[in-house]
Amino acid sequence: MRKLQFILLTIIMGISAANAQENLKYQLPPESILKLADYQRPPAVTIDSHNEYMLLTYRNTYKTLDDLNQTEISLAGLRVNPVTNISSSASYLNNLKIRKVKDNEPVQVKGLPDNPRITYLSWSPDETKVAFTNTTDKGVELWVMEFATAQATRLTDAVVNANLGNPINWFRDSKSILIRLLPAQRPALIDPKKALPEGPTISVSDGEKAQNRTYQDMLKNPTDEANFVTLTTAELYKVELSGKKTLFKTADIYAGENFSPDGNYLLITTIRKPFSYIVPLNRFPQQTVVYDLSGNAVKTVNDVPLTEVMPKGFMAVRTGKRSLNWRADEPATLFYAEALDKGDPKNEVPFRDAVYTWKAPFDKTPELLTKTELRFSGIVWGNASIAVLMEEWYDTRRVKTSLFNPSALSQGLKLVSDRNYQDIYSDPGNFETRKNQYGRYALTIDGDRIFLVGDGFTPKGQFPFIDELNVKTLKTKRLYQSGYTDKMEEILDITDVTKGEVLVRLQSKNEYPNYFIRNLKKRIAPIQITHFQNPFESIAHVYKELIKYKRADGVELSGTLYLPAGYDRKTKTEKLPLLIWAYPAEYKDKNSAGQSAANPNEFTFPYYGSFVYWVTRGYAVLDDAAFPIVGEGKTEPNDTFVEQLVANAKAAIDAVDSLGYINRRKVAVGGHSYGAFMTANLLTHSNLFACGIARSGAYNRTLTPFGFQSEQRNYWESADVYNAMSPFMHADMMKTPILLVHGEADNNPGTFTLQTERYFQALKGLGAPARMVILPKEQHSYVARENILHLLWEQDSFLEKYLKK
């Protein structure tokens, strides 16, 4: 019987040699889906640290195919437009409005360019202005907007170089901007198709292990190197608000500029040669120099060599200074970490890292601040006597947080927490910060108190909280905990410790998120300060529930279940087809794997990245279904990847089926990226699903031989694991219809478009029922309106054909 079904499906899919291709133009999804997908996005909100002004930024819901159809060069991990000199995947704002927080109506910013394409918004240190770039057909301009007048002004022509990211840095006085501009004498780019090579391209392995992940868009030859230099080289200019320009530093490859908190020094990092053909630009040689405000070199503080060779493992780091940055609470002090284990996690040492500070003018030896048991992961600075040190270790999912006194190092570290960071129920929260006298974010300190804001996940639901921590006793006191059972509350900022004012965002499953001011000292309702409307009213009355269930081995699982509006949950006469959308996650213990971060009161925000749209088409949807992959002790999660995938899927179907809502013979599964990889494996190794949708996945793990996702072992160490997990290796077992979708220009490490093309060829060659859709111009995530709406049509047609019928 199963063989007959397979033959019939092969015929229906129309993948015979006589009808292998379809010349199909872009299609639109059904009206109920189109109504949800083709909406106008409400503005995003940013509020200054004084809680005075609100900046509202607007952008189109989607890009267009024309937006993607631009000239592009891919070099050293970059994808840039060589005409405009900015990332070819940049997302642009198309309008700005401002509003005083205490007012009701926003004010349109005047003087914006025609058809603005705005990005890289950068607030001035005094928060009275915002600088930004505008991209024209000819290039990138520098603009500034003043809050007091709501007036925007252009400061430069289209000569800004944004190829290496944000080109804007404010001087401390908020009166001038340091900006990267195209060099006055810039060579023309070389056409790779016309350049005649002077010899072959040669790479050499000298015996050192260089176990790098699979990167895309690497340099390939001397022509690429020359074009990379042309595109990334810039001159640094000081631009005053009047538009006056002064050359600050001559042409170089500037990878980062950072003023000291007092504004008297400037930390500049440049990229040096030799370049690499196997790693991206962030691992090219770099030099970091401190300059004064006249552009004179004060001290070379770091020289990083080419880093092609790294030890194996996620906790591997290069040797030498790293994480070099300014200390937020002092005028001009650098801090950095250095590995004590040679950067190799395999080396057993009492301390992994040493952390140093280095005061300007850097004429003395750096001072040892502390040593860390785990890998250094950051410091939240407070003042001369209070700071927070953070350490982590991936293999055990361990994170440590400690208080210390930067002025009395002999006092040592005071442990605040030492926990498994995947154990979200025990998360103590993040330390609250606010801008200090230097305009840098530092710990919010009130006497002996500092503050923690937590997401508040518990077995009974999510209840965000604010705790105060006494730095002397290390005891915590709960100041506030959300008590909503019908809404979701997010604590965004403690805006005024003295007054007890807190900025929060409230939402429910059918109420769009809006901003409120809550007063912890006054027992009054929070005051609403934005009034954004729900753009998805058509699904306001669908049924939504967080369901919890168990895997066969006892691991707790969960997912958010949606049922069509009006579905009779009492009689359950109609048995619905079920769609499951998921993404696997690796854990080191079953307890953490069973915890849920889902909130049933979160606003239902349908988007192309899930199946929620199909609740309007008569499907039940289990969204964000938990698919944990657990490996406790010395066992790695992927050792039993396929078995655990199938167990997760069976548990999910059993759970919804036990509620009486579905026809378990009509279940589909889908996922994006690693979720696509999951989908192909489930269809290959189980009989649980009628069909599946896999988008932008990787299906042959031998093409990512030095690790993938959370797998640290290489192929030659665990060939059986790589082969067992690769759907491509088991294509002969595939008998279930699958829709494969991929972006034509995927730039994500490992998920080359070739992965889907080769997998489809294997399935077709073996007679499996498959359909492949390559979306023009798209990268790993899809952004063009035409492609997204067609994708929704493809998915709907596929599901109607292989699930409903």
* 236 pLDDT above the threshold of 80: yes
Band of the pLDDT at 5, cuts 50, 70, 90?
A: very low
Is 60 exceeded by the pLDDT of residue 16?
Answer: no
How many whole angstroms separate alpha carbon 198 and alpha carbon 770? 46
Residue 415 has pLDDT above 50, yes or no: yes
Mean pLDDT across the chain: 94
Coil, strand or helix: which one is 334?
Answer: strand
Least confident of 419-423, 685-689, 706-710: 706-710
pLDDT reported for residue 67: 94
Give mean pLDDT, residues 543-553: 97
pLDDT at 15: 39
Please check the confidence at residue 431 and state whether its pLDDT lies above 90.
yes
Contact 332, 326 (CB under 8 A): yes
3-state DSSP call for residue 343? Answer: coil
pLDDT in tens, 581-593: 999 999 999 999 9
User: If DSSP states are collapsed to H, E and C, what string results for 363-419?
Assistant: CCCCEEEEEECCEEEEEEECCCCCEEEEEEEHHHCEEEEEEECCCCHHHCCEEEEEE
pLDDT, residue 210, reads: 66
156 phi and psi angles, rounded to 5 deg: -140, 165
pTM of the prediction? 0.93
In 10 A of CB 367, how many CB atoms? 14
Considering only 268-272, 361-365, 490-494, 747-751, which range has the smallest mean pLDDT?
A: 747-751
Q: At residue 203, does pLDDT exceed 50? A: yes
Counting residues of the chain whose pLDDT is more than 90, the rounded percentage is 91
Query: What digits encode the pLDDT tens for the residues 434-485?
Result: 999 999 999 999 999 999 999 999 999 999 999 999 999 999 999 999 999 9
Q: What is the pLDDT of residues 252-306, one digit of tens each?
A: 999 999 999 999 999 999 999 999 999 999 999 999 999 999 999 999 999 999 9
The mean per-residue pLDDT over the stretch 712-717 comes to 92
SS3 503: strand
Decide if pLDDT at 317 tops 50.
yes
User: Lowest mean pLDDT: which of 6-20, 113-127, 624-638, 723-737?
Assistant: 6-20
**Per-residue pLDDT, 20:** 62
Rounded to an integer, the average pLDDT of 701-713 is: 91
Q: Residue 19: what pLDDT?
A: 52
Instruction: Supply the residues annotated as catalytic.
Output: 673, 746, 780
| pLDDT score at 23 | 82
**Average pLDDT of 359-376?**
97
Sign of CA dihedral 655, 661, 665, 671: negative
Look at residue 199 in the predicted model and tell me its pLDDT.
Answer: 81
User: In the structure, what pLDDT confidence band is assigned to residue 107 with cuts at 50, 70 and 90?
Assistant: very high
Q: What is the mean pLDDT of residues 628-646?
A: 95
What amino acid occupies position 739?
A: L
